[in-house]
Structures are given as C-alpha cells and as structure tokens.
C-alpha cells in the first residue's frame, strides 16, 4: 500500500481518518479540518495510508505545538495512529520513519511525543516508542511521560513546562479539549446531558490557541477530564462509559 501527504488544499477533498463515517461528528470533523489547515500554515504534516482507514501521523515543530513542552528544534508528534486490520503490518514504523527523515532534513535535534507510563487508550504504546529509540525524559503525574528520540547530544533535554495553568473548577466535571480530535469535541454535548441529568455541575474549556495550550492543566491538551479540581483521565468515552464513570467517581481514584 502507498502513503500520501495531505496538504492544506487537499483537506476538503480527502478524508482525514478520524471519525470515519460518523455523521454525528460532521461538525467536529469540519472543525478538525479548520484546525489542521491553520496548523499546516505553521508547519504541520499530515501523512496517512492511501486507504479509508485510521492509519496516519500528525507532526509539527515543537515551537508550534499545542502542548506545554520545552524542546526547541525538536519535532513534536501530535498523533500516531494505526488501528484495526492494519495493526501489525509495520505501518507505525513507516510513519515514524517518515517523521524522523523529515526532522533530520530540517536540521532538527530529535523528536518528542507524549505517551503514558503504560499502554493507555488514545496514547501511543511506550514499548513501541522505546523499541524505536525513544527514552523517557520527563514525567507529569499521574501517568504522562515525555518521550524523546535524540539524534545527537547537542540538543537540549526536552521537558514539560511548569507554567501557571489555566484554572480548573473546584466542583463538578471540568473538561479541557481542543478541535484536534473530532471525537473529543463531538462528545461534549452528550456528556454534558449525562452530567446535568445526574445533578453534577459540568464545565468545558475549549483551548483555541497555542498560548492557551501552553497553560493547559494537563499535558494532554486534546481531552482531559477533571472532577472537583482533580485530574481524572484523558480518555474520551461514550455516553454509557461516562455514566459508569460518574457512578463510580466518588469511590475511584485517578486513573493510573
């Protein structure tokens, strides 16, 4: 199979893998395409399998990344995704090699990516990252880890930023998200209805700029759930799973 590089001019004509065939996410997909278009002006690359499948990579220079990371002259991977029947076919390695070749050609010092202390949904598998030459260079509680693949020793040591974060509500559910993922923004109204039906205060904060992303209360700016001011999870979940989450939230601690 072949891979293609989707440019800004291709966005309206080609699918972007996320939320394939899900009509309820059409507005969120349009928002994702607008987000991608703006990021492509800043150097983002969207490279995917030439097939209607979720096999793709998004990356851009850290200086333009929507994540609280200090890693000048590094490439940041927004998303590395291989799903379904295409898993195990070497596609993730190909996608990562493409990113590495691009970063080297730009004279960069390495690549950084956010994952977890173990394999979590919606985050890359840390075992694969280590296999591909990445090492953990920084950590943020409860489980986020910053992985770096340094091309040489001249580059700086990447770190998470410790800026004063955006405020989190002290009562109820607080969700921070961006338009980067259609599932994240597409879920909000359904989750709100569930919380309000249970009498739980529900607040959302859409991060709409890189400057806001640098102050996000969680390093995973795509989607993060807080309860009574405490981080709970980065997992995007269905209505049914969110109902279960709310039922158990008083007895369950932060996801680890």
> CA distances (Å), 164 to each of 5, 216, 218, 229, in order?
37, 9, 11, 15
> Residue 16's closest CA among 55, 71, 68?
55
Q: Print the SS3 string covering 2-29.
A: CEEEECHHHCCCCCCCCCCCCHHHHHHH
Same domain, 212 and 241: yes
Same domain, 114 and 203: no
**Mind listing the pLDDT tens digit for each residue in 232-256?**
999 999 999 999 999 988 666 566 5
What is d(CA 121, CA 95) in angstroms, rounded to the nearest whole number? 19
Contact predicate 19/182, CB 8 Å: yes
What is d(CA 92, CA 114) in angstroms, rounded to the nearest whole number? 16
| Whole-number pLDDT of residue 254 | 61
State the DSSP code for 63.
G
Q: Rounded to an integer, what is the distance from CA 194 to the centroid of its chain?
A: 24
Contact predicate 80/96, CB 8 Å: yes
Same domain, 103 and 178: no
Task: Show the tokens assigned to 48.
Answer: 């995917």
For position 32, which CATH number holds?
3.40.630.30
Q: What are phi and psi of 114, to 5 degrees?
A: -95, 130
Residue 253 is assigned to a structural domain of this protein: no
Q: How many CA atoms lie within 13 A of 16 on its CB side?
A: 29
Residue 168 is assigned to a structural domain of this protein: no
For position 194, which CATH number holds?
3.40.30
Mapped onto helix, strand or coil, the DSSP state of residue 244 is: helix
Contact predicate 36/47, CB 8 Å: no
Bridge partner list, 147:
113, 136
What is d(CA 105, CA 61) in angstroms, rounded to the nearest whole number? 13
Same domain, 110 and 210: no
Mapped onto helix, strand or coil, the DSSP state of residue 243 is: helix
Same domain, 14 and 113: yes
Residue 35: is its pLDDT beyond 60?
A: yes
> Residue 184's closest CA among 6, 43, 31?
31
Same domain, 156 and 177: no
Task: Show the tokens assigned to 19.
Answer: 């939320």
Residue 70 is assigned to a structural domain of this protein: yes
Average pLDDT of every residue of the chain: 91
- Examine the fold and report which residue of 160, 188, 205 is the final residue of a domain before the chain moves on: 160
Average pLDDT (224-239) is 95
Same domain, 195 and 133: no
Domain total for the chain? 2
The band of 18, judged by pLDDT with boundaries at 50, 70 and 90, is low
**Mind listing the pLDDT tens digit for each residue in 107-151?**
999 999 999 999 999 999 999 999 999 999 999 999 999 999 999
Same domain, 29 and 152: yes
Residue 22: is its pLDDT beyond 80?
A: no
Task: Show the tokens assigned to 135.
Answer: 């090492």
Residue 166 is assigned to a structural domain of this protein: no
Same domain, 138 and 89: yes
Same domain, 156 and 179: no
| Whole-number pLDDT of residue 30 | 87
Same domain, 24 and 69: yes
Range of the domain at 117: 3-160
Question: What's the predicted TM-score (pTM) here?
Answer: 0.93
> Residue 227's closest CA among 188, 164, 169?
169
| Whole-number pLDDT of residue 27 | 87
């Amino acid at each position: 199979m072949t891979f293609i590089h989707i440019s800004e001019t291709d966005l309206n004509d080609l699918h972007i893998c996320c939320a394939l065939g899900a009509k309820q996410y059409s507005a969120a997909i349009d928002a994702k395409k607008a987000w991608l278009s703006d990021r492509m002006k800043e150097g983002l690359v969207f490279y995917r399998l030439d097939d209607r499948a979720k096999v793709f990579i998004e990356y851009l220079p850290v200086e333009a990344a929507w994540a609280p990371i200090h890693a000048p002259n590094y490439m940041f991977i927004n998303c590395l995704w291989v799903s379904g029947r295409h898993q195990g076919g070497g596609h993730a390695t190909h996608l990562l090699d493409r990113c590495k070749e691009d970063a080297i050609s730009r004279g960069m010092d390495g690549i950084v990516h956010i994952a977890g202390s173990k394999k979590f949904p919606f985050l890359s598998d840390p075992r694969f990252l280590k296999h591909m030459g990445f090492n953990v260079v920084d950590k943020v509680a409860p489980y986020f880890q910053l992985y770096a693949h340094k091309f040489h020793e001249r580059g700086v040591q990447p770190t998470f930023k410790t800026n004063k974060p955006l405020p989190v509500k002290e009562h109820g559910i607080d969700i921070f998200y961006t338009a980067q993922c259609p599932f994240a923004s597409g879920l909000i109204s359904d989750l709100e209805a569930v919380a309000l039906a249970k009498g739980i205060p529900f607040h959302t904060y859409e991060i709409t700029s890189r400057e806001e992303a640098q102050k996000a209360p969680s390093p995973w700016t795509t989607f993060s759930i807080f309860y009574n001011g405490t981080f709970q999870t980065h997992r995007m979940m269905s209505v049914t799973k969110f109902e279960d989450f709310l039922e158990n939230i008083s007895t369950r601690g932060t996801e680890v």
